[in-house]
Structure 1
Amino acid sequence: MVVSEGCTVFVSGANGFIASHVVNELLSSGYKVIGSVRSQAKADQLLEHFSHPELTISIVSDISAAAAFDEIFSKYGQDIKVVLHTASPFHYDTEDCEKDLLQPAVEGTKSILQAIKKYAAHSVERVVITSSDAAVTSYESDIDPKNLHTEDSWNSITWEEACKDAEAAYYGSKTFAERAAWEFMHENEGKINFKLSTVNPVWVFGPQLSDSNATGRLNTSCQYINDLVHSTPKTKLDMSIAGGYVDVRDVARAHLAAFQKAAAIGQRLVLCAGRFTLVNIVDVLDKRFPKLKGKIASGDAEESKKLLSSLARYDYSKTNHILEFEFLPFEKTIYDTAAQVLKVEGRL
């Protein structure tokens, strides 16, 4: 099953960091896009940025509400061929993990799938869920060099464990939401026409789609780069932070590949361009921005290498074979992210 070019694609959470790049990629590729955001203010901002005749924005104020997406699919369902569900909370600023992270992620996923089944079971052909490597591996599993992660790996976190703190809740939210999607497909086999794929990126870096979003606090992953740009020589690097990275522009391309390619049907596309530590980010900042060198944090190169060698191994070759494109290099990703911040601040 290959979706026809120029069809209508629905994108939930269309103003998000990843989603806005996905919308840009879709519009640039000739697709019609219907997006959802949480408020009219966010809708106005998105429409003003794109100013594109093939972009329509609707309001879904609470994705965890019962029948949250029913109105959209009752209105547009027969026109929509592809659904990209990107809307899900990603932050650590919460005192109620269940309410703010777990429930919105899981219920939002169930709600959109139920709406498709109810109003567009025979018109929607492909659904792509934006999941995460947080559904593939836990923090504990990823810092064990004996482990090997593949597209078939799953985070074994329990709901009780996920309620302990915000970071655990994020891992749990992506795991339980993705499992809910695959369970829905199994339970509704023969009742729906669409096929499911998931996109599971690691830490997503890269520039904001709009310079207006490159001020203040950035999205959770890019904020680490932002913090280093604004660090001082006295800032102590957190050497517990290490993991995989991928550029947001590659994540956007992968979302299109996930519904364009027949080989992606029923697959989890785990996106990882390589591994990094905060020292690696500082190295790029020092190299590419001479004005920052000596004025921001520094780290121990040997300690960084030791940390990287202690991480789990991974093999996402199945994903790379399906995507058939090269990931953007780490230096370009970090440079473009930091350069945008510095440009907006008048420091470039």
Structure 2
Amino acid sequence: MSKPTVFISGATGFIAQHIIKQLLDSKTYKVVGSVRSAAKAEKLESDFGNHPDLSLVTVEDLSKLDAFDSVFKEHGASFDYIFHTASPVVFTITDFQNEMITPAVNGTKNIFEATVKYAPNVKKFVQTSSSAALRNPEASTDPSVNVTEKSWNTLGLEESTKDYIKAYFYSKGTAEKISWELHEKLGAKFELTVINPVYVFGPQAFDSSVSNHLNFSCEVINSIVHSKFNTPLSNSVKGNFIDVRDVARAHVEALTSDKLSGQRLILSENIFSSELIANIINEKFPQLNGKIAKPSPISNEEISKHLANIDNHVTKGLLSFEFRDLTTIVVDTVSQILNVEAKK
């Protein structure tokens, strides 16, 4: 009996690589991933040791409304499951409409329509959204706000084209709404699950991805590892966290658990701040103590006074596993960074 095939968009992404790794490690699935260039495909294939159950296709531009059509026309009949993880998360851009909003919205619209048209055997479609879809940016720091799986941000397009944070929040909320709307409008026969993670921390899937600057969320930890003892630590970085390996596991579990069909999941374990992360690093890595930023003690209770309350007890009740804690995440992430740098 042949293995079911999972198509995953944005296969080189931080979360996507962990999803692929778990799928292949299970020895249960074949994976077809989309990448933006031949060079990215070559590196990813190398990282996975040219795994026989992994193949890659090129989708260069998510902004095009037919971006996925050719791939799905050729391969769609073989797909059993879809993971849509591709979406811009780059905050160095200046054209928020064309570089963030349009690719996120058009990419989602096209892959969903292509699935309906050209992938008749798909049973489940799992979309990677974000907690940004659940509330407006200013609500993130309002402790009176309670965020649940039923929450949505209320941003409009015009206000979101002038600010990169609002553009990101708008892109995630709008792209997710498109999937729910199309699922009903097109009478899709497959089940839809949307996963909304908060800050996603954790080690890279491969040491080869460790560089001077990591992806947006992991750079929070990386920047503290490379901070200076006499340099003030910014206390502005705080929020909720989740481990990337737990995000990947939730995606994989969505394929096998009917309880997750039709659900929005909020993946969040607890709250963090730069100070808490620095304290863990100083405690767990003696070789760095006295060399990196040494913040003042701070408690979760103090941090929570400056954050919206994320209530995801429904999600935790649906999943079959517990999330990793902040200490585990920081230790695993910093260990990888230091090991890679030691080899260099």
Residue 347 (structure 1) shift: 8.0
Give the conservation status (yes or no) of the 8 Å contact 1:35–1:57.
Answer: yes
Give the conservation status (yes or no) of the 8 Å contact 1:277–1:308.
Answer: no
Give 3-state SS (helix, strand or coil) of 1:118's partner: helix
Letter in 1 for 2:180: W
Which of the numbers 220, 223, 238 marks the counterpart of 1:242?
238
Letter in 1 for 2:268: C
Give the conservation status (yes or no) of the 8 Å contact 1:132–1:174.
Answer: yes
Residue 167 (structure 1) shift: 1.7
Q: Counterparts of 2:64 and 2:236 in 1: how far apart (Å)?
A: 37
Please name the residue that 2:20 is paired with: 23
Residue 303 (structure 1) shift: 7.8
Please name the residue that 1:330 is paired with: 326
Please name the residue that 1:37 is paired with: 35
Residue 162 (structure 1) shift: 1.6
Residue 114 (structure 1) shift: 1.3
Could you give the per-residue CA deviations for residues 154-202 of structure 1, whole angstroms, max 9, x where no partner exists? 111111222122122111111111111111112112xx31111101100
Give 3-state SS (helix, strand or coil) of 1:78's partner: helix
Give 3-state SS (helix, strand or coil) of 1:58's partner: strand
Q: Counterparts of 1:265 and 1:309 in 2: how far apart (Å)?
A: 34
Residue 48 (structure 1) shift: 1.2
Could you give the per-residue CA deviations for residues 245-267 of structure 1, whole angstroms, max 9, x where no partner exists? 00000000000112221111111
Give 3-state SS (helix, strand or coil) of 2:77's partner: coil
Which of the numbers 268, 278, 282 marks the counterpart of 1:272?
268
When structure 1 is superposed on structure 2, of 39-48 and 299-308 the one drifting more is: 299-308
Give 3-state SS (helix, strand or coil) of 1:234's partner: coil
* Long gaps (5+) in structure 2: none
Could you give the per-residue CA deviations for residues 223-252 of structure 1, whole angstroms, max 9, x where no partner exists? 111111100023222222211100000000
Q: Counterparts of 2:304 and 2:224 in 1: how far apart (Å)?
A: 19
Give 3-state SS (helix, strand or coil) of 1:301's partner: coil
Give the conservation status (yes or no) of the 8 Å contact 1:239–1:304.
Answer: no
TM-score in terms of structure 1 length: 0.95
Please name the residue that 2:211 is paired with: 215
Give the conservation status (yes or no) of the 8 Å contact 1:9–1:32.
Answer: yes
Please name the residue that 2:52 is paired with: 53
Please name the residue that 2:255 is paired with: 259
Give the conservation status (yes or no) of the 8 Å contact 2:272–2:303.
Answer: no
TM-score in terms of structure 2 length: 0.96
Give the conservation status (yes or no) of the 8 Å contact 1:279–1:304.
Answer: no
Q: Counterparts of 1:167 and 1:315 in 2: how far apart (Å)?
A: 23
Q: Counterparts of 1:335 and 1:36 in 2: how far apart (Å)?
A: 31
Q: Counterparts of 1:66 and 1:96 in 2: how far apart (Å)?
A: 19
Which ranges of 4 or more aligned residues in structure 1 deviate by more than 6 Å? Answer: none
Give the conservation status (yes or no) of the 8 Å contact 1:8–1:33.
Answer: yes
Could you give the per-residue CA deviations for residues 254-282 of structure 1, whole angstroms, max 9, x where no partner exists? 00112221111111111001000100100
User: What root-mean-square deviation, in Å, do the aligned CA atoms of Structure 1 and Structure 2 show?
Assistant: 1.7
Residue 47 (structure 1) shift: 1.0
Give 3-state SS (helix, strand or coil) of 1:129's partner: strand
Please name the residue that 2:68 is paired with: 69
Which of the numbers 131, 137, 155 marks the counterpart of 1:139?
137
Give 3-state SS (helix, strand or coil) of 1:172's partner: helix
Give 3-state SS (helix, strand or coil) of 1:57's partner: strand
Give the conservation status (yes or no) of the 8 Å contact 2:194–2:265.
Answer: yes
Give 3-state SS (helix, strand or coil) of 2:217's partner: helix
* Long gaps (5+) in structure 1: none
Aligned pair count? 342
Q: Counterparts of 1:5 and 1:304 in 2: how far apart (Å)?
A: 49
Give 3-state SS (helix, strand or coil) of 1:296's partner: coil
Q: Percent identity?
A: 42
Residue 324 (structure 1) shift: 1.6
Please name the residue that 1:345 is paired with: 341
Give 3-state SS (helix, strand or coil) of 1:171's partner: helix
Residue 216 (structure 1) shift: 2.0
Q: Counterparts of 2:75 and 2:219 in 1: how far apart (Å)?
A: 36
Give the conservation status (yes or no) of the 8 Å contact 1:64–1:111.
Answer: no
CA separation of 1:347 and 1:305: change in aligned 2, threshold 3 A: farther
Q: Counterparts of 1:129 and 1:286 in 2: how far apart (Å)?
A: 37
Q: Counterparts of 1:117 and 1:91 in 2: how far apart (Å)?
A: 29
Give the conservation status (yes or no) of the 8 Å contact 1:199–1:258.
Answer: no
Please name the residue that 1:198 is paired with: 194
Give yes or no for the alignment of 1:294 onto 2:290. Answer: yes
Residue 69 (structure 1) shift: 0.6
Give the conservation status (yes or no) of the 8 Å contact 1:130–1:200.
Answer: yes
Please name the residue that 1:117 is paired with: 116
Residue 321 (structure 1) shift: 1.3
